[in-house]
Amino acid sequence: MPRVPFRAALALCAAAFAPLATGCGSESDAEAAAMDEATADGAVPASSQDPPNTLTDIEAADGWALLFDGVSMEAWRTYGQEGLHDGWQAEDGMIVRVAGGGDIITRETWADFELQLEWRVEEGGNSGVFFRASEESGRIFEGAPEMQVLDDAVHVDGQNPLTSAGANYGLHPAPRGVVRPAGEWNHARIRVEGERVQHWLNGEQIVDYRLGSPEWQALVAASKFAEWPEYGTYASGHIGLQDHGDRVYFRNLKIRRLDG
């Protein structure tokens, strides 16, 4: 049976049930499921079938905002600095780590949010996406949890599910066979609401945990993060992109607040 594009289905829903509609227009669990289904078979998400780094009317109405418009890096700065190091550049509609310069963070902060983006690494590449990052920490990873960005096939960290692409780095593993090869785009989604954190990679939910839970505390105590008491404790903070010494590419970075 042919698949009906989600945006077309949504339009039919709105037309047929406009007098009664109370939920067709917002990005609900049903819409999230549709997005995940679209990415599961290698297709780009429905919202990314439009030009990269743009919002659909539906996304804009649902509160999504761009963290990168394809040209300007004004929304970003180097961690611990006011400006942005030129090791990170906007190139051909992508944020690219081209040389050393350190991790970068958004100028704005979020508490509860949903973030989606696409990332690509070269062979053996390593990077990461941080959230609730605070500059009160010495280094960004001392306080901020990380979704791993990696070429699992070549990088040594890909041999360990705890440090594979999509994992909550060092604590919660990612399953095998979800990440795409180096040179191909991966679609990632992170949802943080209160203590609950969820990761999706290419349409598959791969991580689900609660910050501060007994399980979390036990995992942290047995990890390298045990030496940093502030790790994972900040209620809000910046989104961060990691400089791990490799060339890495990001596009379609979109975020929406879940806390009003």
Which amino acid would we find at residue 70? G
pLDDT averaged over 10-residue windows placed end to end, the chain, 260 residues: 41 39 39 47 50 96 98 98 97 97 98 99 98 96 99 98 99 98 99 99 99 98 98 98 97 94
User: Does residue 61 fall inside a structural domain?
Assistant: no
Domain that holds residue 110: 66-257
- pLDDT score for 260: 65
User: Does residue 11 fall inside a structural domain?
Assistant: no
User: Does residue 56 fall inside a structural domain?
Assistant: no
User: Does residue 121 fall inside a structural domain?
Assistant: yes
Q: For position 129, which CATH number holds? A: 2.60.120.560
User: Does residue 54 fall inside a structural domain?
Assistant: no
Question: What is the DSSP secondary-structure string of 11-64?
Answer: HHHHHHHTTT-SSTTS--HHHHHHHHHHHHTTPPPGGGSSSTT---HHHHHTT-
Cβ 95 vs Cβ 120: under 8 Å: no
User: Does residue 51 fall inside a structural domain?
Assistant: no
Which amino acid would we find at residue 111? A
Contacts of 125 (CB under 8 A, 6+ apart): 149, 150, 151, 155, 182, 246, 247, 248
pTM summary value: 0.83
- Structurally, the chain folds into a number of domains equal to 1
User: Does residue 135 fall inside a structural domain?
Assistant: yes
User: Does residue 198 fall inside a structural domain?
Assistant: yes
